[in-house]
């Protein structure tokens, strides 16, 4: 058991950036790849701040693009540690866009990144325990436990699932797919 615990609040990071025409995709909206790059940066900053070590991205567990972001809007990202393991942390990130002329704020994106704390030699570094201070932090932690469990179940299913069985191949007929295996 950990003897050092840090609060969720000690991990909080907020960044804001004005969205420029150079950040757009072919439809004139802010490119999702640009937002992903910013998400990775804030996840790194949040995890490194909490752990006190260099951190690497182990997985991008969820990225839900809820609404497009327009040129000229101010994008604010808020990140915090939602879960800790031995050397890993799940970082929750909320993305909001603000029309700076009207003040209207939209929730645009929610994301969860798994980050791993590293020693200078590249080996995994232990992270502090997480001190949960309110029921919202408990809810987020419990949701992470559920997500981890679902991920493990999915991995077990894929290891054991027989993709080549007649039953599996026949069951694909209800989808928009044609199977022609030589």
146-167 pLDDT, tens digit each: 999 998 998 888 878 888 888 8
Q: Is residue 132 part of a domain?
A: yes
In-domain check, residue 122:
yes
Q: Where residue 89 falls among pLDDT bands split at 50, 70, 90?
A: very high
In a domain, 153, yes or no: yes
Indicate the pairing of strand 5-7 with strand 129-131: parallel
Report whether pLDDT(113) > 80.
yes
Residue 180 lies in a domain: no
Rounded to the nearest 5°, which phi and psi values hold at 101? Answer: -85, -40
Residue 182 lies in a domain: no
* Owning domain of residue 161: 5-174
CATH number of 72's domain: 3.10.129.10
């Amino acid at each position: 058991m950990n003897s050092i615990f840090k609060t969720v609040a000690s991990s909080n990071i907020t960044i804001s950036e004005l969205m420029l025409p150079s950040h757009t995709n072919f439809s004139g909206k802010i490119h999702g790849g640009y937002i992903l790059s910013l998400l990775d940066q804030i996840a790194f900053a949040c995890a490194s701040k909490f752990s006190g070590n260099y951190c690497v991205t182990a997985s991008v567990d969820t990225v839900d693009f809820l609404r497009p972001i327009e040129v000229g809007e101010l994008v604010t990202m808020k990140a915090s540690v939602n879960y800790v393991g031995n050397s890993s942390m799940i970082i929750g990130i909320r993305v909001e866009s603000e029309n700076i002329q009207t003040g209207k704020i939209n929730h645009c994106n929610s994301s969860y990144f798994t980050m791993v704390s590293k020693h200078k030699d590249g080996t995994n570094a232990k992270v502090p325990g997480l001190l949960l201070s309110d029921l919202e932090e408990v809810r987020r932690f419990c949701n992470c436990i559920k997500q981890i469990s679902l991920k493990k179940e999915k991995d077990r299913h894929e290891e054991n699932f027989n993709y080549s069985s007649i039953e599996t191949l026949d069951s694909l007929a209800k989808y928009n797919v044609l199977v022609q295996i030589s």
